[in-house]
Homo-oligomer: A and B are copies of this chain.
Amino acid sequence: MPLQEKQLDPALLDAVDVFGGLDPSGKDEALAAAHWRKLETGERAFEQDQEADAFYVLSAGRLKVTQVTPEGQEIIIRYIGPKEMFGCVAVCGGLTYPGTATAVTDSWALGWTRATIGALAQTYPGIALNAMRTMGGRLQDTQSRLREMQTERVERRIAHGIARLVAQAGRRVEGGILIDFPVSRQDIAELTGTTLHTVSRTLSAWQERGVVELGRQKLTVRDPHALVVIAEDLPLKE
């Protein structure tokens, strides 16, 4: 596999937000200090409550970050795509990971130990600023979801959740936009705060109306506009 090649490619960090604005020597230094990690589908990068010893940037693939309640219920905090960082707690004072990161497709990640990334952030202050920007974005995103949870009915929340997935991992295919990784009804339920039953019913109704096309762990949005109409609760005619 091109693992070795990848390791030597300094362009690898070019489009990564955290290292944005870093001079080439800094990127080389960061790459040299990093270690590779391959994650098979279903494998976990780290688990909830485990000591936060490393910080990662996903290179390829897709992860989901989840939390489980003491009662055993699971919720999805967010999906991580290529070029996105995860395990940020390791760089912002947290002692343990607040969630579990699981690969939903085969993935590769670049990792830095807590000490390594700390030292890098000391040398290159831009890293901290970039990380803060990303965290700010995630905070706003999470607050939006909280607002949706508090004010919207299930159907709108599902529409918003799927719109978010489309924005993050949508791939144009003939006749629509496909979510580019396996998502089950259960996943969508854990993302929107409902049950797989309600998700199934809602999506079936949408399929009936031609808004989406369903498959096993597969979802294609045929009519993105209709999805927005549902998400924003717009009247059908205006």
Contacts and interface: CB of A to CB of B under 8 A. Distances in A.
B133 A77 contact: no
Contacts of A93: 133, 136-137
Interface string A68-97: 011101010100000000001101111000
A145 interface: yes
A139 B77 CA distance: 11
Interface stretch (A122-130, A169-177, A201-209, A212-220): A122-130
Contact of A147 (B67, B89, B132, B137): B67
Nearest to A232: B70
A123 to B, nearest CB: 10
A136 B67 contact: no
Secondary structure call for the A interface: helix
A138 to B, nearest CB: 6
Contact of A140 (B94, B136, B143, B150): B94
B71 A151 contact: yes
Nearest to A73: B151
B75 A146 contact: yes
How many identical subunits does the complex contain?
2
A149 interface: yes
A7 interface: no
Given A131-B132, A132-B91, A75 B138 contact: no
A60 B78 CA distance: 36
A69 to B, nearest CB: 5
A133 B92 contact: yes
A75 B145 CA distance: 12
Contacts of A136: 88-89, 92-94, 135
A193 interface: yes
A143 B92 contact: no
Given A73-B151, A77-B143, A99-B143, 4 more contacts: A69-B147, A71-B233, A92-B133, A149-B150
25 contacts: A67-B143, A70-B232, A71-B151, A73-B151, A75-B150, A75-B151, A88-B136, A89-B140, A91-B132, A92-B132, A93-B133, A93-B136, A94-B136, A98-B140, A122-B125, A131-B132, A132-B132, A132-B135, A135-B136, A138-B139, A142-B143, A149-B149, A149-B150, A150-B190, A151-B193
